[in-house]
Structure 1
């Protein structure tokens, strides 16, 4: 059996490395299954049993990684938001129009690549209950952080904007993305074309607000 020397002088066996790799793979399968189940059924309709069935892993494996359903869905939200932020808050391009188009393309790509997460996020935002869930609380907090990040980018693009107007434009930009996603749930729509239109509208609004 092969051994690997660690920085602290200890050794890691091949079987230990394989165990860690299998653990990461299992965690990935669980998160993906939870996102699919919750994206279809919402928070209340999701259960460890349903995630177990969707992932093909026993409930004991799920509980080994996550304390309960709320912790699992919070992990789904955290991972999904990180992917989403990578797409929607890192604009490329020299000019303001190029950067706005880049942002809108990023959102469109996220809708195509991670529809279950987007659906789950919107469901969590709309589901209010007496006791706040960790998943919903995390989603709302990260959404605010994403809005603030976009507002900062808008101020960088157009220093003439007031901070208040930049914040309103950022909120509007994300609201437009939400609306396009919902439209896609109701029937066949050209998501890319709608986001191109959204980009043109945002460019017009930004120029008007900065003028």
Structure 2
């Protein structure tokens, strides 16, 4: 029994160390960029040996991969939780506004991860890192598509909702990313306020797209 308790304690300590390293790496890299943070500086900040970081992650690239994977899992899990229990809304405009409000809340609590993702997407020349960023981007697009389709289906039905969501999903993704980046660059530009403007555009575009769809599919 004592041996089992000792193993569990060591496992618990190892998990805490990994989380501490990843939390600190996320903060430092989101502020300084991936190239600006050395393993030595990270080990000094966390208070662990450099060898401990290499033991857990294998390399700096392995650390980055683990950081991106954990950040993406947490971010998309929280998005799904936020969208899991919508209020009884029927109109597309109400549903879009509600869904985007959930996005604002989740983004606000994951700014470090999203900042790092954008920095890597803009500046990394490492192919595995680029591919990792692209995978997260694709998962983000799929998530936005699912929630747009839900938002439109209550008023227009599943068939039209699928077609219109596919038409406006890239517009939505681009503007969410642009709103986030703008709010990072300029403190006077609030992400929530920029998303409110996006909601109005989504509603107008979706209504126009529905009219086109119905005229082409009488």
Alignment TM-score, normalising by the size of structure 2: 0.79
Give matches, 1:1-211, under 5 Å: 2=1, 13-88=4-79, 91=83, 92-93=86-87, 94-95=89-90, 96-129=92-125, 131-132=126-127, 134-156=128-150, 157-158=152-153, 159-161=159-161, 163=163, 166-185=165-184, 186-211=186-211
Q: How many corresponding residue pairs?
A: 199
Rounded Cα–Cα distance in structure 1 between residues aligned with 2:5 and 2:94? 49
Cα deviation digits, residues 25-78 of structure 1 (max 9, x gap): 111111111111111122222221122123222212211210111111111111
Which structure has more helix as a fraction of its residues? 2
Gaps of 5+ in 1: 4-11
Mean CA deviation greater in 186-195 or 138-147: 186-195
Alignment TM-score, normalising by the size of structure 1: 0.81
Mean CA deviation greater in 21-30 or 135-144: 135-144
Gaps of 5+ in 2: 154-158, 212-218
Contact 2:99 2:147 in 1 (8 A): no
